[in-house]
Amino acid sequence: MNLNFRKKIMMASLVPMLTLSLVILILTGTYIKNSIVEQVKQSLKGTAVATLAAYEQNAGDYVKANNGDVWKGGYNISQSEKLVDAIKKESGVDVTFFYGTERIMTSALDKNKQRILGSPAGDKIVTVVLKGGKEYFSENVSMDGTTFCGYYIPVYQNENEKTPIGMVFAGVNKEKAYASVEYVTYFIIGVVLIVTIICIIGVGFMAKSITKSLKKSISGVQQVSLGQLNVAFDKKEVVRKDEVGDLTRAIESLQSELKRIISEMSESTQSLLMASDEMEKMSHGTFVNINHAKS
């Protein structure tokens, strides 16, 4: 019975705590991930805007020459390696200039250390950015088999046009960008596990202490029920300020009350015996006197 009670205490304490820990992990992990995603998004947007501003500072229209090079006024975008490489060096972000759907210039390199040029943008990006004229963020941009988080902004020939002539992309390796999420998540999991283990140990000691005290109280009741009224209770249990202390004091009070009742019964019994002896003596004396008178 004590073991079952101990298990109940453990379950009643640990189940809510474990549930709360799980909820904290889920909510904290989700919050941290969302925060980092938003941070990455804003960082990429800033880099994309800065890259476009660097190209836009050159006066003139965007034009594609007969040899395939794209120019902005007198600046050859197709030969702007220094610009995109400098941006990547400073920000750690890869940038790409699209003319239409085609990659004209980029800082992103393939596995052979060659620039990833010429490949078209995905259908979703074309629909949202080039056709819809909206900025777009994605956590799953694939370049040469590597997944990037990327931000796209449309590029217009001039402010009055509604249809973009191209777009600028800023992206960062997704695995590296979200590495901090995993680190923080593992750290939180570790802290929660340590706290949980400490709580389990603490609850175990508490349950053991309670069941041990109850066992002593039950033993005391059993001894009192067998007539052993001189049972000494542990003073630590008597002075406890909880239900176990109340129970011990109640048993001790019962023990004292039983002693008093038995003592009174004993005194009453002695009085009855004495009265009985007196009556017997008086009865015997009367009988002797009667016999003597008859004689």
CA distances from 42 to 132, 156, 187 (A): 21, 21, 25
Cβ neighbour number for residue 212 with a 10 Å cutoff: 14
- CA neighbours closer than 13 Å in the CB half-sphere of residue 177: 27
**Calpha distance 154→135 (Å, rounded):** 6
Please tell me the predicted confidence (pLDDT) of residue 104: 93
Global confidence as pTM: 0.63
CB 7 within 8 A of CB 210: no
Query: What phi and psi, each to the nearest 5 degrees, are found at residue 166?
Result: -175, -160
Tokens 């709360």 belong to which residue? 20
**Calpha distance 113→64 (Å, rounded):** 26
Please tell me the predicted confidence (pLDDT) of residue 230: 66
Q: Which residues contact 153 (CB under 8 A, 6 or more apart)?
A: 45, 48, 49, 52, 129, 135, 167, 168
Please tell me the predicted confidence (pLDDT) of residue 1: 43
Split the chain (295 residues) into runs of 10 and give each run's mean pLDDT.
60 75 77 84 95 93 92 94 94 94 93 87 92 93 88 89 92 84 77 81 76 70 64 64 67 71 73 72 62 57
Please tell me the predicted confidence (pLDDT) of residue 245: 67
What is the secondary structure of 88-147 as a DSSP string?
A: HHHHS-EEEEEETTEEEEES-B-TTS-B--SPBPPHHHIIIIIIT---EEEEEEEETTEE
- Which helix (H) or strand (E) segment holds residue 10: the answer is helix 2-56
Query: What phi and psi, each to the nearest 5 degrees, are found at residue 43?
Result: -65, -45
Tokens 């006197």 belong to which residue? 289
CB 141 within 8 A of CB 148: yes
Tokens 């804003």 belong to which residue? 42
CB 125 within 8 A of CB 114: no
